[in-house]
Amino acid sequence: MTATHTPGPGDVLGGCRLDRLVAQGGMGMVYEATHLALGRRVAVKIIAPQLAHDPEFRERFEREARLTARLHHPNVVDVHDAGEQDDVLYLVMRFVDGIDLRTLLQGGQRLAPARTVTLVGQIADALDAAHTAGLIHRDVTPSNILISGKGSTEQAALTDFGLVKHIDTAGLTRTGAWFGTLAYVAPEALRDETIDARADIYALGCLLHRMLTGETPFPRESDAAVIAAHLTDPPPRPSATRGVPAGLDAVVARALAKQPGDRFASAGALAAAAREALTAAPETPAGTAPTQRRAPGDADMPTRVAPAPAPAPRASSARPLRR
């Protein structure tokens, strides 16, 4: 594999043979792969070139890959290795045999409240573990949640910590640029203020609304209108959708408070409040949500990332991250 060759099926990257492309997005491509030394199935994420060539992103990538590798939780996709080969940045992760939540919610589909609250509780557990470790995810969206198993064995796993921010590394984000998916971005991030774990709680509230209703909280006709809604509009009431208990309105409202101090103190507290609201009223079957004003696929996609400067010098061989 040469520096000008985009890795593909059959290529070996970081000691892993790329077998099958399973996902592609703004951050890069994900392959199902085989770890050749261990004979183990893994996932290999290849970082998009425009990000890999950004010196700021590379610095954050190396720092945060090491931090994320220390995070072990059943609802987090583990990072096994990270490095660079022939000018390609990559992550080796646990392979999750399932689909992402965005695929499950395509076409405005929604989930039954009981299923929603169970999955949100698992995601909340993952976020609390990350926050305890000093990590902020910053892109808690359907695209970054993998669903495996069925029925009582269904499990959610949070992935794509490539956008995470360590609480003690405020200087690693360029002023005036933010990372993430616009439909789930907290108001303080849009105001270019310092963010903390409560930005993830805001995103989790947006996700709860999306799963319950089939709509993002503020579906609007333009990005500017979505930003304005995050900053000024009152939180929507998910109970306006048939079958959603009214008690969940207060949960979404508190999670989506404009001021971080008015939100839940932890993701687990949000999940506990949602479980309590669910038991307060009988559940009715969930159908398809009303048609969105913006396509769900558009709303769930990353809207903006920092621009990438000129390419960094090319590497000629694989190397691990500095320890």
Domain boundaries, the chain: 12-95, 99-299
Identify which of 311, 312, 301, 306 has the alpha carbon closest to the alpha carbon of residue 26. Answer: 301
Please determine, for residue 74, whether its predicted confidence score (pLDDT) is greater than 80.
yes
- CATH code for the domain defined by 99-299: 1.10.510.10
pLDDT score recorded for residue 208: 98
- Residues 209/238, Cβ–Cβ less than 8 Å: yes
Q: Which residue has the higher pLDDT, 288 or 319?
A: 319
pLDDT, tens digit, 9 for 90 and up, residues 256-282: 999 999 999 999 999 999 999 999 866
Asked whether this chain's domains 12-95 and 99-299 adopt the same fold, the reply is no
What single string gives the DSSP state of each residue in 89-110? EEEEEE---SEEHHHHTGGGB-
pLDDT, tens digit, 9 for 90 and up, residues 182-230: 999 999 999 989 999 999 999 999 999 999 999 999 999 999 999 999 9
Mean pLDDT, rounded, for 244-260: 97
Superfamily name with CATH number, domain 12-95: Phosphorylase Kinase; domain 1 (3.30.200.20)
Cα-Cα-Cα-Cα torsion 239, 243, 247, 253, nearest 10 degrees, comes to -30
Predicted model pTM: 0.81
Measuring CA to CA, how many Å separate 287 from each of 112, 205, 240, 244? 8, 21, 13, 11
Annotated catalytic residues are 139
Backbone angles phi and psi of 206, in degrees to 5: -60, -40
Mean pLDDT of the chain: 83
Most confident of 53-57, 163-167, 253-257, 305-309: 253-257
Q: Which residue has the higher pLDDT, 168 or 161?
A: 161
What tokens were used for 22?
A: 């399973």
pLDDT score recorded for residue 41: 96
